Chain A
Amino acid sequence: MHLAYPAVLAALLFSVGVYGVLARRNAVLVLMSVELMLNAVNLNLVAFDAWLRDALHAGQALTLFTITIAAAEIGLGLAIVLLVFRTRGTPDIDRLTALGDRVAERQNSADDTADASKGQAVS
């Protein structure tokens, strides 16, 4: 079998996962997209393991580890999402902007003088 098939499939799957991570609003769906990306990597690992005929089967062992870590990741990730949902009342990622610059957001509505005074107060 040509190596290009699994490699190209893995690349495309990874890109789909990237799109999902970047575009999805719901945090659970983002986690799902992360699973897609991880599986793309798994596919690569298995394909290269078969291609290289590795005597130690490093690729397959690593795939198993990855699956384990992915399971742990999704468990922890879902716990975090649940926690966030419980405290903030929403699983939407783009509304979790507590680490953003509040002043910059307020600037959109505030006029320049308030901006200047605020800037001085901050500096």
Chain B
Amino acid sequence: MSILAAAGSLAPATRGFLSPTGVEIVFVLVGLAVLGAAVISVGTKQLVHAALWLVVALGGLAIEFLLLTAEFVAWVQVLIYLGSVVVLVLFGLMLTKAPIGRSPDADSGNRWVALLVALAAAGTLVTLVVDAFRTSWIDLGSGGGSASVTGASLFRTWVLPFEALSVLLLAALVGAIVLSRSRQAAVPKPRPGKLRAGKPVGAARAAKSPSSERES
């Protein structure tokens, strides 16, 4: 509440929706493109196309970030999402032998329920958001999200979470490697729960096996 009070712009805005500024027009147009790309991405029957439409949606979002003066975040978005995540997704699609071209069973039988839930969620959220922020106005000043400002705040104020996050990334990296490691050569080891009585050797191995797995 104190942060909201510090913003100082909670007073009813004098600007109307019918006289948009240039930034607003660009924002809405790009927003429509993002939304359309997202809808196509979740609705198309061609799996690889879905990934490519995702690129469009995420790129559009990067433009929106720029429009909101968060330029560093926008470049990061382009770098990470467009550069790596989508590539990862494409690799994933290929590795799981996703069919090229239209696949009629891209959507599960759950889609009507999903549609209902999504529409309900959209309706609820939009109603709430519009109701709450109808009159709020963002005073866009330049330089609010430049690399120097963001770097200063990250390495001064948020340095500890930042370092913790690096450790998390490392763990995720190791985990992904462990999970995706091909283990066709490895003999499946008996799990402790499946041990039969009368196999005294297995008990020792079972006790060892989780730790050995973790080590590898």
A contacts, CB < 8 Å to B: 1-29, 31-33, 35-36, 39, 42-43, 46-47, 49-54, 56-58, 60-61, 63-65, 67-76, 78-83, 85-86, 91-94
**Chain B residues within 8 Å of A76, by CB:** 172, 175-176, 179
B65-95, CB under 8 A of A: which get 1 and which 0?
1011110110011001100110011011101
Count residues of chain B with CB under 8 A from any CB of chain A. 98
**Chain A neighbourhood of B168, CB < 8 A:** 68-69, 72
Which of the residues B107, B122, B175 comes within 8 Å of A79, measured between beta carbons? B175
Shortest CB distance A62–B (Å):
9
Q: CA–CA, A28 to B57, complex, Å?
A: 17
Known A-B contacts A19-B118, A20-B41, A52-B6; the reply to A46 vs B58 at CB < 8 A is no
Which 9 residue pairs spanning A and B have beta carbons closest together? A22-B114, A20-B42, A15-B122, A72-B172, A19-B118, A11-B125, A23-B114, A3-B136, A79-B179
B195 interface hit (Cβ, 8 Å) = no
A65, B175: Cα distance in complex, Å? 19
Determine if B107 and A12 form an interchain contact, defined as CB atoms under 8 angstroms apart.
no
Please report whether the interface of chain B is mostly helix, strand, loop or mixed according to DSSP: helix
A71: chain B residues at CB < 8 Å are: 80, 84-85, 169
Interface contact B58-A75, CB-CB below 8 Å:
no
Flag whether B126 is at the interface (Cβ < 8 A): yes
Residues in chain A near residue B41, CB distance under 8 A? 20, 32, 36
What are the residues of chain A within 8 A of B31 when measuring CB–CB? Answer: 5-6, 9
Given the contacts A5-B28, A63-B70, A25 and B108 also touching, CB distance less than 8 Å: yes
Q: How many A-B residue pairs have C-beta atoms within 8 angstroms? Tell me.
A: 280
Contact A60 B165 (CB under 8 A): no
Write the chain A residue with the least CB distance to B114: A22
A82 touches B150 (CB 8 A): no
Q: A4 CA to B118 CA in the complex, in Å?
A: 20
Q: Give the complex CA separation of A49 and B70 in angstroms.
A: 9
Q: Which residues of chain A have C-beta atoms less than 8 A from B6's C-beta?
A: 52
Residues 29-82 of B contacting A (Cβ, < 8 Å): 31, 34-35, 38-39, 41-42, 47, 50-51, 54, 57-58, 61, 64-65, 67-70, 72-73, 76-77, 80-81
Q: Which residue of chain A lies nearest to B3 when distances are taken between CB atoms in the complex?
A: A52
In the complex, whether B213 has a CB less than 8 A from a CB of chain A is no
Tell which of A23, A35, A60 touches B58, judged by Cβ atoms closer than 8 Å: A35
Query: A1-B27, A13-B35, A50-B70 known; A61 and B138 CB under 8 Å?
Result: no
Chain A: which residue is nearest B51 at the CB level? A32
**Residues of B with C-beta under 8 A to A8:** 126, 129-130
New A-B pairs, 14, CB < 8 Å, besides A43-B61, A52-B6, A78-B89 = A5-B28, A15-B122, A17-B38, A20-B42, A25-B106, A26-B96, A32-B51, A54-B3, A56-B157, A60-B73, A61-B153, A61-B157, A76-B176, A79-B175
